[in-house]
Structure 1
Amino acid sequence: MRIGLLGTGPWARGVHAPALAGHPGVEFAGVWGRRPEAAAEIAAEHGVPAYEDADKLIADVDAVAVALAPQAQAELALRAAEAGRHLLLDKPVALAVPQARRIADTVAAGRLASVVFFTLRFGGERVGWLAEQAARDGWFTARCDWLGAVFTTDSPYAASPWRREKGALWDIGPHALSLLLPVLGDAATVAAAAGPADTVHLVIGHAGGASSSTTVSLTAPPQAAGVALELRGEAGVHRLPEAGVPPVEAFGHAVDGLLAAARSGTPHPCDAAFGLRVVEILAAAEQSLTERATVPLQPLPASPWPPTTEA
């Protein structure tokens, strides 16, 4: 599979490009970015062409890996899907539900493969742990704390305009949801409350009767940053393993998932449709913050739930 990279920021340079260049199952076919000089640098580093036109790159490949801000990703992912290209997307897939729905609908209509790169869903013992918990019944509640220090350190992502505007809810919230939904089931209601700076507290009522509480932030003190997930139910108390894998390795597993979905025609659990549901939940949380009320979600069409957790 020939995969082109759309994007030249720190995530594209440090994760996507080296993972694509080192993956034995794909051909890293080229790079496009809004800054041509940055695209040329990444391309030269990996011995691939730099494209001045995104549509020309899309025309030359079988799939695109997108490492762009959500607004730009939504536009280019839709153009790539309309051209019949498989999609390897970042989260969130869009910042508005209609955009995310158009991407998911186009992928489905074209029978395309798609994977959204929720980092903790790919590689390491956390993958097996999540599958084990999803196979269990009788969950009562869960708590997730995902506290980042992006805005309180010299992180290269601190200057990101969309992160500054949308905060942790849209940047970290998708990661938390990608872990909670496969275990506890779809979200039926969402209530959100604001904490310090961009911190948001979420309470989700899940369709199966369980509940979860989540705190996300990009402004935590560095000493308080970290990820923790605790599940409680008939199986007792189970906590997310601390050990993970480097992002480049995780992205390589996401590429594996895209290849498998393209070969089999079976949608990946983290596909564009799942990405759409995450955006719907985040939009409901944003509405809850504004209205200071619990927001119900429309149930999903009848389909197997939760999605499998195989990467």
Structure 2
Amino acid sequence: MTSSTLPIDSGPARFGLVGTGSWAGRTYAPVLGSHKAVDLVGIWGRRPQAAAELAAGHGTTAYDDVDALFAASDVVAFAVPPDVQAPLAARAAAAGCHLLLDKPLATRPDAARAVVEAADAAGVASTVFCTLRHAPLTAAWIAEQAGTDGWFTGRADWYGALYTPGDDAHVRATTPWRAEKGALWDVGPHALSVLLPILGDVRTVAAHGGPGDTVHLVLRHASGASSTAALSLTTPPAAGGTAVELRGTQGVSAMPTGTGTAQEALAAAVDALLEAARGGAAHPCDARFGLRLTQTLAAAERSLASGRAEPVPEH
């Protein structure tokens, strides 16, 4: 328990939302606006007019000053690019706000670490919204596999068609940071968020480029197991799909499909964060885990440049 712990019987928690893009508008604002345990008190964005429009659509206040939004909030949710998110999240934590973070936490390990340190110093809870860690069906499967011994290897395939050449509609519908950073940073956190809790921290990673923005990772885990991940946002539409498979002494286990909507998973993430903020156990997919994802992906980025396996720094 800390001075930042939310009282259990305090009623709906005051949430501020940072972000006004399509992800904020399609997922975050509707979930926060309809969640029974949430009072959406305001929205701030880098585009004031977009903030005003989104706030008006959800019956809340548009803030011109992000620090004023932090002062009015118990919890701040972030739906902005990772390297915009990280410094703002550290400021929100310093203001005593619990943190609902998007993935990746940051694309630089030092920026991600600053969020962890700010949250620790303020005694605030955090959760990173990796959808498969919060969607009930996949969260239960991950927990079950993490409790099973003897995994030998695993693979995670994330094949998306967001930037398929010639499909301008997809490119227009997405965001500049995804176009710049590609599949490694956009869908890489999803793959790692499943593999790491089951197979353990990554000790070394080798990364190799494929067609378009495709990246293939070979991971060596602290448990001694190995895994691979195939990540792409430039897959031909007919070839897209997601799969995770584990092999070990107990046989083969595949991650279930049909995991529900992003809004359902976000509502579960809100519940998990509020439990932690009210003195419950920290969620395993918190800012510290977000730092591990960033450190692993940064090592993969170095491997792409160096052509050799790179170590992932220990905590």
Q: Same fold (TM over 0.5)?
A: yes
Report the Cα distance in structure 2 between the residues aligned to 1:127 and 1:298, rounded to whole angstroms. Answer: 27
Contact 2:108–2:294 (Cα < 8 Å) also in 1: yes
1:247 positional shift: 0.8
Structure-1 residue corresponding to 2:228:
213
Structure-2 residue corresponding to 1:186:
201
Aligned amino acid, residue 245 of structure 1: G
Helix, strand or coil at the partner of 1:188: strand
Alignment counterpart, residue 196 of structure 1, candidates 211, 217, 225: 211
1:155 positional shift: 3.2
| 1:10-65, Cα deviation, whole Å (9 max, x unpaired) | 00000000000111111111111111111111111111011111111111111110
Structure-2 residue corresponding to 1:256:
271
TM-score (norm 2): 0.93
| 1:54-101, Cα deviation, whole Å (9 max, x unpaired) | 111111111110000111111211111111111001011111010000
Structure-2 residue corresponding to 1:305:
none
Q: Does 1:49 align with 2:64?
A: no
1:283 positional shift: 0.5
1:293 positional shift: 0.7
Structure-1 residue corresponding to 2:73:
61
Aligned amino acid, residue 116 of structure 2: A
Structure-2 residue corresponding to 1:151:
163
Change (3 A) 1:19 1:158: same
Q: Does 1:7 align with 2:19?
A: yes
Q: Does 1:233 align with 2:248?
A: yes
Identity of aligned residues (%): 55
TM-score (norm 1): 0.94
Report the Cα distance in structure 2 between the residues aligned to 1:76 and 1:6, rounded to whole angstroms. Answer: 9
Aligned amino acid, residue 7 of structure 1: G
Structure-2 residue corresponding to 1:309:
none
RMSD: 1.2
Report the Cα distance in structure 1 between the residues aligned to 2:309 and 2:21, rounded to whole angstroms. Answer: 37
Where do residues 1-311 of structure 1 align in structure 2 (5 Å cutoff)? 1-152=13-164, 153=167, 154-155=169-170, 158-300=173-315
1:266 positional shift: 2.7
Matched length? 300
Contact 1:111–1:265 (Cα < 8 Å) also in 2: no
Helix, strand or coil at the partner of 2:43: strand
Report the Cα distance in structure 2 between the residues aligned to 1:157 and 1:290, rounded to whole angstroms. Answer: 29
Aligned amino acid, residue 272 of structure 1: A
| 1:248-284, Cα deviation, whole Å (9 max, x unpaired) | 1110001001101111253210100000010000000
Helix, strand or coil at the partner of 1:268: coil
Aligned amino acid, residue 290 of structure 1: A
Report the Cα distance in structure 2 between the residues aligned to 1:50 and 1:130, rounded to whole angstroms. Answer: 38
Contact 2:163–2:171 (Cα < 8 Å) also in 1: no
| 1:185-223, Cα deviation, whole Å (9 max, x unpaired) | 110111000011111000000001000000001111111
Unpaired segments of 5 or more residues in structure 2?
1-12
